[in-house]
Structure 1
Amino acid sequence: MKIVATNIGERKKVDWKGKTVITGIFKFPVETSIFLDVEKVKEDAICDKEHHGGVGQAVYAYSEKHYTYWKELYPDLDWELGMFGENLTVDNLDERKLHVGDTFKVGEVIIEVTKPRQPCMKLGVRFNDMKIVKQFWKQDLPGVYFKILQTGFVKTGDKFEQIISCPQNPTIAKVYQEKRTKKGM
């Protein structure tokens, strides 16, 4: 696996059906390296600290391969990496093969797999279509949150070198399936 894009977003106010929504989901690729800190990516907006950021979900990664599926469902969108609010777009991130606790050296950092992303209405705002939230729940393509064990910079092209493997723990796909079942999806 390797990083194909590093993405940063600013705090943005969006008029959604007459209500103001404040979000940081509008992330776009940057040419420079980004700093992964203990609780967040520096320079990246986090507007809902209850559900984003923090030690257990300091950085969100999504697979570039998953984009193919979504582009078929939403062919009219102006597609860019970062569309799912991810800080790291990774070439071949596979939730069926990543276990909670798996640890990687990437660039200057050491990161640990913690949990899948749960979609919220802000993904619908980003796609300008709330159908995406339910569709996202129904696919095992949630992306992965990581905990930062060693802070530092990462950049496009950095490879993921696995340093700890935890096959005894559930995969991210399994954790996501269990969350979906609990929600009745």
Structure 2
Amino acid sequence: MARLTAVNVGMSRDVPWGGKTVHTGVCKQTGAGPRMVRRPNIDGDGQGDLGGHGGEQRAVLVHQLDSSRFWEEKPGRDDLTPGQFGENFTVDGLPDDEVCSGDRIGAALCEVTQPRVTCYRGTAHG
């Protein structure tokens, strides 16, 4: 059973990356209090590329803690926080190799519609 551990939001902004400036919404922080999830996104959250992110079928990005644990153990990082990977929901107990389209998460009745896809803008954030 998946457990929601953090809800993370952040507005899109311009950041330097690879000698250029890119517009990204990957910079997320754990939000205080409840957040309304709507068709395009979560209140207080923005996407840098609306063609590839957000919308009815991609309103929320989910990242599971086992992936964060991997990045903490293998490269030896100790600075990872919820939202670090641009996710809106940080969850525990939802392994990538077990989750399927149609799976439902939590009382808000969020349903998996697509696999998680990382874009190049995600690398622009530390």
TM-score range, shorter chain: 0.7 to 0.9
- Pick closer, same or farther for the CA change 1:58–1:82 going to 2, 3 Å: same
Partner Cα distance (1:116, 1:21) in 2: 24
**Hey, what does 1:13 align to over in structure 2?**
14
Structure 1 length-normalised TM: 0.62
**Hey, what does 2:79 align to over in structure 1?**
78
Unaligned runs of at least 5 residues, structure 1? 128-185
Specify which structure has the higher proportion of strand.
Answer: 1
After superposition, residues 1-185 of structure 1 pair within 5 angstroms as: 1-76=2-77, 78-104=79-105, 106-107=106-107, 109-127=108-126
Structure 2 length-normalised TM: 0.88
Partner Cα distance (1:14, 1:77) in 2: 23
Which secondary structure does the structure 2 equivalent of 1:57 belong to? coil
CA shift, 1:62, in A, is 0.8
Specify which structure has the higher proportion of helix.
Answer: 1
Which secondary structure does the structure 2 equivalent of 1:35 belong to? coil
- Pick closer, same or farther for the CA change 1:76–1:63 going to 2, 3 Å: closer
Deviations 1:128-152 (A, max 9, x none): xxxxxxxxxxxxxxxxxxxxxxxxx
CA shift, 1:49, in A, is 0.5
User: What RMSD in Å do the two structures reach over aligned CA positions?
Assistant: 1.7
Q: State the 4+ residue runs in structure 1 displaced beyond 6 angstroms.
A: none
- Pick closer, same or farther for the CA change 1:32–1:110 going to 2, 3 Å: same
Unaligned runs of at least 5 residues, structure 2? none
CA shift, 1:72, in A, is 2.9
CA shift, 1:76, in A, is 4.8
Which secondary structure does the structure 1 equivalent of 2:82 belong to? coil
CA shift, 1:77, in A, is 6.5
Deviations 1:151-175 (A, max 9, x none): xxxxxxxxxxxxxxxxxxxxxxxxx
> How many pairs does the alignment contain?
125
CA shift, 1:24, in A, is 0.8
Partner Cα distance (1:102, 1:18) in 2: 40
Partner Cα distance (1:75, 1:28) in 2: 22
Rg larger in 1 or in 2? 1
CA shift, 1:74, in A, is 4.2
- Pick closer, same or farther for the CA change 1:73–1:121 going to 2, 3 Å: farther
CA shift, 1:75, in A, is 3.4
Letter in 1 for 2:28: K
